[in-house]
Structure 1
């Protein structure tokens, strides 16, 4: 997750994955032919940007990013001799074409004399120039910040070498099937049979950092009528929570939010609803009171993470205590939490930072298309309303925002943790002197500069019309627009409905399983078969809550072309991530998923996506059940990729 600008680093040119590059590599006396199929990321000098900009959100002491460098890669051919020894071919010389300001130059990479001698002493059977072996595999080459795919014979082995200094990286690219398996490794889907307006929610996570800095939570709290008055005579209602947490400078703050944020907010809501019930004139709490309760829960938790932890450390005078409780304060996290009250049918979205929630709703004009409505606005130093607030709170400090960042460093203007922007200079100096806290930020004059107080929006949900909400960390929104995301979910829903009808017609009857699975789809399904995304487009993006998807610019993805998308997944969240990372372009998808940390951070962020479906017909058995066809846990025999978090 990008956060703080890193100074004094070399610039790199913006990748453009649409330019192809052909290259042939040969070795004298053992001719080898490898065809570069395409450049996944190629850049021009006119597109230079700083490597840290929008790709790193570190707030610790600036560290050098791992570069991507050398234009050579290694292919080893192992062959048994009479004695059983294996022979390997050395570094391959090669030629490449490099474009600069419209001119083309030829560069050559040559193996050392010793390497050539070794090659000549180890003859191998390799196809000659112009021949392509029948069985091939793809290699992924990271070269000076560019990604290339190359075909190599299937019986050759790629050496997987990494140099933190030269930045060379060569590794075997995932096949389409392997890429799909990686996409689906952490997907979860749940069918909600509680008759309270929510019928299903899908979740997926794709890491880029190691370990992933994102986290998420889903909780349903059954509320008895002693908490809030009932309008329809029901003995209970549901409070449903969904949250995505975009961590930075580590994973500890986002993990803390997963463990505790819903509890903090629920306690404040409980007190607010009880107060309303005690007043005979009230049926529900005043909307402002509910918003205030959510904000209070956020601020209480952040105060515990940031200020109470510092006081505990200073009082305990123990480095062990400091190591245990200061980590969530020194790292940070954005938070996006949705709260749905099934009795009022109101959905509140509390946003701290730049994760985003978007509502998808079927258009009322009868064309079967969807409209996208942002339920949150990105909060960064570059958001004008946030910059104006900070200037008003810190008069006489013109550098409170610089280049869209707080004090020139941190990008989100609201976040949990990030104590270096909240602690007084006195506290920072004490912790730095007695423990291992970071060097005090000399730009801090009138803290706090960052707050965890969320901006809360309220939306009335209509389950009868099949509303849905997409919540995601900014790793998704820097790849897709709000309208593309809603259109993709609409396209996915139409495909699911078509498949359901097809399976029922082929069998000649509707099975109990198909009825159960199809009930939640009834509100969404459209017979529209248009190839374009079923979305109402709007020219103006004012108040849309979105920034331009910078990865589309980085990768050179042509905008406004719905044909680049594909529907292949049963999980709606996985469907969004697949199309964010390439869609029909299987090479791009495989390349982006092949890259390990830290190389992958140049091209994609951690991704956490939730899709919540509101509707009727999901059943009333009171259960929340795993949807086996869209969950990795079921596909892996109940094991999944890790422990499934409790949902109820």
Structure 2
């Protein structure tokens, strides 16, 4: 369904958005409608998709214990047939799912879209697999058409394409806030950076540094609203009915990863706050390469640790055991007010409403910032470039090279390119191995994936490439039993063995002439039937 919305400025002519509202609920379903407030956009079209996580619980029960004497009678006040509080709390037996059940679980929240705009992006796929209940990950996407003035006073339009991945921790409240607001905050600041030309709708193109500053400002303004302004609002009007809504995004936390592609400049900017990651796969001279476009920001990153220790001299516990104050792993995050508020404010909030006590080593906050680190990469659609964004649950299980190799094999299967062009990549390799991928990343400060077993191959069973990556991440090198085992463990027990998984894959390429009237199109064979996008 297409909807028009009139807003205050004429920055945006058209906007397309596909944002998952997935909440993996135990006792209730809800569908949250988003209210976009873009102060810089005008006359835009929205494309949104919503889905809810639903779980069917199967309980196995035996009424008579095995080996009981004949004729014995049993009198018990415990729950019979799985009814009562145990069932309400979703206490389950541990059962290995069948291959078909695992596939259904992996594909339950997959989405795929064709971008019929002729401006360098052809398709993007998304998949989420919960481990927490509700899932703490989230994501959002948006495409915005902007009228611009190029050199020599040439007037044209450019597409701004945004993809966001948000890895919440301690709960889902902060990541949901990012889902609903972060891209919009960035667009608002870009609307200021791209200044109007002579009071018209046309926009002038700023420098790359100005664009970076706008993105950083959008990140920091949203975090300031979460951590500071919402709390000020609550303290000035202390209604406990508003406490949960205003405080939870501040007390919880989330990493934020946003990729911004400008079809005019063909620049891809990746902004990261936390330890989610973006990598770029490319075909260069017949060989595949991978480049990491973001660096994991944790206390184990030597640069991040040195930065925080320099900001807090004489506090040797500012980073301890690779964590902020010995507790929080990401050194940059949204929310996480325990590492940003002073002790006095934390005590007031805890005593008046709710919250944990301040960290024991807290002395000179803030220790954590939401300011992102931004990289800029020129995209060449002729190199068959593709972008993989994921929460750290993916990169804990697969290396950068493995991810690119898996996408390449999937592209082969889907006949997205001819294998004759990449024979060098496969020389000397058996067909059940991934192609050679050369890592051209300059900064290797990020953590490596861990592996529990030897590679036995890989799977090529999914039409959605993000689902394909999730399946292979669980398989531990192509072991189906291992994949089924990890997929079968119910929450909350599953959190001990795997994290929430959110993956977005974007394909760049030449797909005909630019078409300002082109619309997003759902790819039905790679989109779950339970997901009903509103286009």
TM range (shorter): 0.7 to 0.9
Aligned ranges 1:126-145 → 2 under 5 Å: none
Aligned mates of 1:337, 1:121 — CA distance in 2: 67
Residue in structure 2 matched with residue 291 of structure 1 by the alignment: 212
In structure 2, what is the equivalent of residue 117 of structure 1? Answer: 68
In 2, Cα distance between equivalents of 1:162 and 1:566: 40
**Partner residue, 1:385:** 303
- Residues 1:465 and 2:390 are matched in the alignment: no
3-state DSSP of counterpart to 2:194: helix
Of residues 469, 478, 488 in structure 2, which corresponds to 1:594?
488
- CA-to-partner distance for each residue in 1:390-421, whole Å, 9 max, x for gaps? 01000010000111100011000000000010
Aligned ranges for residues 539-558 of structure 1 at < 5 Å? 543-550=443-450, 552=451, 556-558=452-454
> 2: CA distance between counterparts of 1:181 and 1:463?
33
Cα deviation digits, residues 566-604 of structure 1 (max 9, x gap): 111111100000000016322211111111111101110
Q: Does 1:568 align with 2:461?
A: yes
Superposition deviation, residue 542 in structure 1: 6.5
Structure 1: distance between partners of 2:505 and 2:198: 33
Instruction: Please give the alpha-carbon distance, in whole angstroms, between the structure 1 residues aligned to 2:445 and 2:418.
Output: 27
- Give 3-state SS (helix, strand or coil) of 1:274's partner: coil
Query: Of 78, 94, 98, which residue of structure 2 is paired with 1:175?
Result: 98
Structure 2 residue matching 1:199: 3-state secondary structure: strand
Local SS of the residue matching 1:589:
helix
Q: CA deviation at 1:537?
A: 3.9
Which residue of the partner structure matches residue 265 of structure 2? 344
Q: CA deviation at 1:235?
A: 3.1
1:548: Cα distance to partner? 1.9
In the other structure, the counterpart of 2:125 is: 202
Determine which of 404, 429, 434 is the counterpart of 2:347.
429
Distance 1:198 1:389, change over 3 A: same
Q: Cα distance 1:443–1:618, how it changes in 2: closer, same or farther (>3 A)?
A: farther
Residues 1:372 and 2:266 are matched in the alignment: no
Question: Are the counterparts in 2 of residues 244 and 336 from structure 1 also a CA contact under 8 Å?
Answer: yes
> Partners in 2 of 1:462 and 1:222 — Cα distance?
20
Match of 2:519 among 600, 623, 632: 623
Q: Show CA shifts across 1:219-277 (max 9, x none).
A: 0011122xx53779563110000000000111010000010111110111111111799
> Who is 1:68 aligned against?
none
Asked which structure has the greater RCO (Cα within 8 Å, sep 6+), the reply is 2
Alpha-carbon distance, 1:297 to partner: 0.5
Residues 160 and 261, structure 2, Cα contact 8 Å, conserved in 1: yes
| The one of 522, 532, 535 aligned to 2:436 | 535
Q: State the alpha-carbon separation in 1 of the partners of residues 511 and 419 from structure 2.
A: 12
1:3-50 Cα offsets, whole Å, 9 max, x none, are xxxxxxxxxxxxxxxxxxxxxxxxxxxxxxxxxxxxxxxxxxxxxxxx
- Within 5 Å, give how 1:120-519 maps onto structure 2: 170-225=93-148, 228-229=149-150, 233=154, 235-274=156-195, 284-364=205-285, 366=286, 369-497=287-415
8 Å contact kept, 2:301–2:446: no
CA contact (8 A) 1:160 1:171 kept: no
Is the alpha carbon distance of 1:251 and 1:231 closer, same or farther for their aligned partners in structure 2, counting shifts above 3 Å?
farther
Q: 1:579 to 1:161 in 2, by over 3 A?
A: farther
Aligned to 1:55: none
d(CA) in 1 for partners of 2:421 and 2:153? 32
3-state SS of paired residue (1:304)? helix
1:173, distance to aligned residue in structure 2 (A): 1.6
Go from structure 1 to structure 2 and tell me whether the alpha carbon gap of 1:307 and 1:194 turns closer, same or farther (over 3 Å shift).
same
Query: C-alpha deviations, 1:147-180, integer Å up to 9, x for none?
Result: xxxxxxxxxxx9899999xxx9733321001100
Q: For the aligned residues, what is the CA RMSD?
A: 2.9
SS in 1 for 2:94: strand
Could you tell me how far 1:425 is from its partner in structure 2? 1.8
- Which residues of structure 1 form unaligned runs of 5+? 1-73, 78-86, 91-115, 123-157, 498-520
SS in 2 for 1:235: strand
Distance of 2:184 and 2:488 partners within structure 1: 38
CA displacement at 1:426 relative to structure 2: 2.1
Q: Where does structure 2 lack aligned partners over 5 or more consecutive residues?
A: 1-58, 73-80
C-alpha distance in structure 2 between counterparts of 1:593 and 1:160, whole Å: 25
Alpha-carbon distance, 1:433 to partner:
2.5
Q: TM-score, normalising length from structure 1?
A: 0.66
Single out whichever of 592-601 and 393-402 deviates more from structure 2: 592-601
1: CA distance, partners of 2:420 / 2:117: 21
User: Could you say which residue in structure 1 is the equivalent of 2:17?
Assistant: none
SS at match of 1:174: coil
Distance in structure 2 (CA, Å) of the matches to 1:161 and 1:377: 48
Q: 1:423 to 1:452 in 2, by over 3 A?
A: same
Distance 1:216 1:75, change over 3 A: closer
- Cα 1:645–1:215 change in 2 (3 A) is farther
1:237 and 1:171 map into 2 onto residues whose CA distance is 52
Task: Give the secondary structure class of the aligned counterpart of 1:325.
Answer: helix
Distance in 1 of aligned mates of 2:65 and 2:449: 43
Distance 1:288 1:247 in 2: 29
Change (3 A) 1:395 1:525: farther
Contact 2:404 2:437 survives alignment (8 Å): no
CA distance in 2, matches of 1:299, 1:420: 17
Contact between 2:288 and 2:438, CA under 8 Å: does it hold in 1?
A: no
Secondary structure (helix, strand or coil) at the match of 2:294 reads: coil
Larger Cα-atom Rg: 1
What secondary structure is seen at the aligned counterpart in 1 of 2:389? Answer: strand
Q: Matched residue pairs, number?
A: 455
Q: Are residues 381 and 287 of structure 1, via their aligned partners in 2, closer, same or farther at CA, if it must alter by over 3 Å?
A: same
